[in-house]
Amino acid sequence: MSINPWNRRDWSNHPKLIYPDYKSTKFRNPKNKLIKIENFKDIPSPKFSKDCMRPIDADLTKNAKKDHDPIGERIIIIGKVMDEFGRAVPDCLLEIWQANSAGRYIHREEIHDAPLDPNFLGAGMTLTDKNGDYKFTTIRPGSYPWGNHHNAWRPAHIHFSIYGRSFVDRLVTQMYFEGDPLFKYDPIFNSVPDKKAQDRLIAKFSIEETIPEFAHAYIFNIILRGRNATPMEI
Amino acid sequence: MKKNTFLQTSSQTVGPFFAYGLAAQQYQYDFPSLVSGDLRKKDLLGQKINVKGQVIDGNDIPIHDALVEIWQADPNGNYDTNPNGKFFGFGRMGTGSGDFVGFNFKTYKPGITAPNSAPHINITVFARGMLNHLFSRIYFSDEEEENKKDLLLNEIDTSLRSRLIAEKENETEYRFDIYLQGDKETVFFDF
C-alpha cells in the first residue's frame, strides 16, 4: 500500500456519470458518490510488445481485406500519447473500433440499413513508439442513426481504448472529425462539460501530414493522467 | 510539484459495439484478442476459481452490452503484467456472448499482495450508457479474518462493505454481481 501517486481523474474534463440527454445513462450509473481511495497498491499496466500483434493490425484497410480494398475515403490518424505534464507515454496499447464508410458497424446486433463491406472489419490495434507516437491507417467512418431521440445521428467517430501506465490510468474515448455538422445535436459529444475539452476530442486535418496521392491525415493527441512529481523528479 | 500543462482527454462511452474490437475472440469475430476471460492459460500451484457475475442496471435488468476487466495478483500475491508470463493477471470479458448475461472469469484465487490487504481482484466496468468507466474491487466471503484487516475495506462504511465481497457458491465458484444503481448499488471508487 502506498499513497496514490497518480493525479486523479479531472472531472472538469470528464462527463458527469448521469447525463440525462443521453437517456441510457439514467439507469446505468451509480447515484452515490464515487469513494476516493488514498491507499492502494498501484499496478502497472500490461506490458504488451510488438510481438503481441501484427503490423497489419494498425492498418484497417488491410487487416480484413479479402479480395478488394475497402470502399471509402482512406485516411491516416497520427498522434502522440502524453501525460498531463507533457511526458510521452511509450509502449502504450491503443485499440480502436469504428463503423465502415457507410456508417455500418459489423457488430451482429447492429440493424442500421446500410451495407456491410466484406473487406472491412473496423477494428485495429497498435502500440505507441518510444516517443509516444502512434499511427493508424483506416477508412473514414460514416455517421449512423441511433434510437436516443427523434432523428438522432452520431457524428462520425472512432472509438479508442487506451492503457496508461497504471490500472487507474485507463481511458476509453471517441475521436471525432473536424467540421462535422452533427456535433451540436449529439448528447454523447456534448456530455463533455467543457467546450475546449470537446474540441480536444476532434481530430484536426493536417495538410503537412497528408500523404500525396494516398490519404488525408488527421492528428489526434491523447492526454492521460499524470504521475505526481516526487522530490526526486524535481 | 510540477504544474500540469496538458488536460486529460475526456472519457466517452464504450458504446454498444465494442465486441469485435475489444473481445473479438469471445464473440467469434475474426480479429485477435490480446486478453480474454481465461487467466488459467498456464498451470500453476494455486486454487482454481471462477468469478461469475452480472452487471445489473437500475431497473434490475442484467446488461448484455457491458465490458468488464479484472486485474489481480497470482496465488503468491505478485502481479505479473507480462502477457506471456506465468500468470498474466489481467482479464477482459463482454457480458453478452452467451446464454448467461454476464461474465465468468476462469482464474486463480489471488494471494495477499501486502500487509493488511486481503486477497482481492480489481475490477473495471464499461458499458453503453456509461460515459466513464467505474472501478471497484472483489473480496472473498471465505476470507473473513483477512477482510477485517484490509485497509481499503476499512475506509468503507461498515454497512457497505458486504457489497464488495463475492459470495462463495461452491468450492470453485464465487459470485459477484455489480449493481450500477439502486438499493444494492455496488461501491465504486475514484482512485
Helix (H) or strand (E) holding A195: helix A195-200
* ipTM score for this prediction: 0.96
The confidence score (pLDDT) of residue A233 equals 40
Query: Chain B residues with CB inside 8 Å of A233's CB?
Result: 2
* Chain B contact probe: residue of A8, A18, A35 with most B CBs at under 10 A: A35
Domain ranges of chain B: 12-127
Task: Give the chain B residue whose CA is nearest to the CA of A192.
Answer: B10
Task: Give the chain B residue whose CA is nearest to the CA of A169.
Answer: B191
The confidence score (pLDDT) of residue B3 equals 63
Q: What are the distances in angstroms from CA B21 to CA A77, A170, B32, B111?
A: 17, 17, 9, 32
Q: How far is A189 from chain B (nearest CA, A)?
A: 8
The confidence score (pLDDT) of residue A60 equals 98
Whole-angstrom distance, CA of residue A7 vs CA of residue A230: 12
Report the residue from B10, B20, B79 with minimal CB separation from A14.
B10
* % of chain B with per-residue pLDDT over 70: 98
The confidence score (pLDDT) of residue B36 equals 96
Summarised one tens digit per residue, pLDDT across range B77-121 is 999 999 999 999 999 999 999 999 999 999 999 999 999 999 999
In whole numbers, what is the pLDDT of chain B averaged over residues? 96
| Threshold 0.95, pTM exceeds | yes
**Residue of A9, A87, A159, A170 marked catalytic:** A159
Domain ranges of chain A: 44-226
The confidence score (pLDDT) of residue A108 equals 87
**Residue of A9, A87, A105, A200 marked catalytic:** A105
Are A229 and B155 a contacting pair at CB < 8 A?
A: no
The confidence score (pLDDT) of residue A2 equals 62
Q: What is the CATH number of domain B12-127?
A: 2.60.130.10
Task: Give the chain B residue whose CA is nearest to the CA of A4.
Answer: B191
Query: Chain A residues with CB inside 8 Å of B115's CB?
Result: 1
Report the residue from A29, A46, A64 with minimal CB separation from B81.
A46
Query: Chain A residues with CB inside 8 Å of B21's CB?
Result: 95-97, 122-124, 159, 161
User: What count of Cα atoms within 13 Å lies in the side-chain half-sphere of residue A180?
Assistant: 26
**Residue of A22, A144, A176, A218 marked catalytic:** A144
* For residues B38-54, average pLDDT: 96
Summarised one tens digit per residue, pLDDT across range B143-188 is 999 999 999 999 999 999 999 999 999 999 999 999 999 999 999 9
The confidence score (pLDDT) of residue A126 equals 98
pLDDT reading at B54 higher than 60 = yes
Whole-angstrom distance, CA of residue B165 vs CA of residue B55: 15
- Sites in chain A below the pLDDT cut of 70: 1-2, 229-234
Report the residue from A14, A25, A105 with minimal CB separation from B17.
A105
Q: What is the CATH number of domain A44-226?
A: 2.60.130.10
Distance in angstroms between the alpha carbons of the first and the last residue of chain B: 19
Residue A176 annotated in active site: no
pLDDT reading at B45 higher than 90 = yes
Residue A144 annotated in active site: yes
- Which long-range contacts link A199-204 to residues 24+ away (Cβ below 8 Å)? A200/B7, A200/B9, A200/B10, A201/A173, A201/A174, A201/A175, A201/A176, A201/B9, A201/B10, A201/B12, A202/A175, A202/A176, A202/A177, A202/A178, A203/A77, A203/A79, A203/A175, A203/A176, A203/A177, A203/A178, A204/A178
The confidence score (pLDDT) of residue A38 equals 81
Query: Chain A residues with CB inside 8 Å of B24's CB?
Result: 123
Residue A157 annotated in active site: yes
Are B191 and A201 a contacting pair at CB < 8 A?
A: no
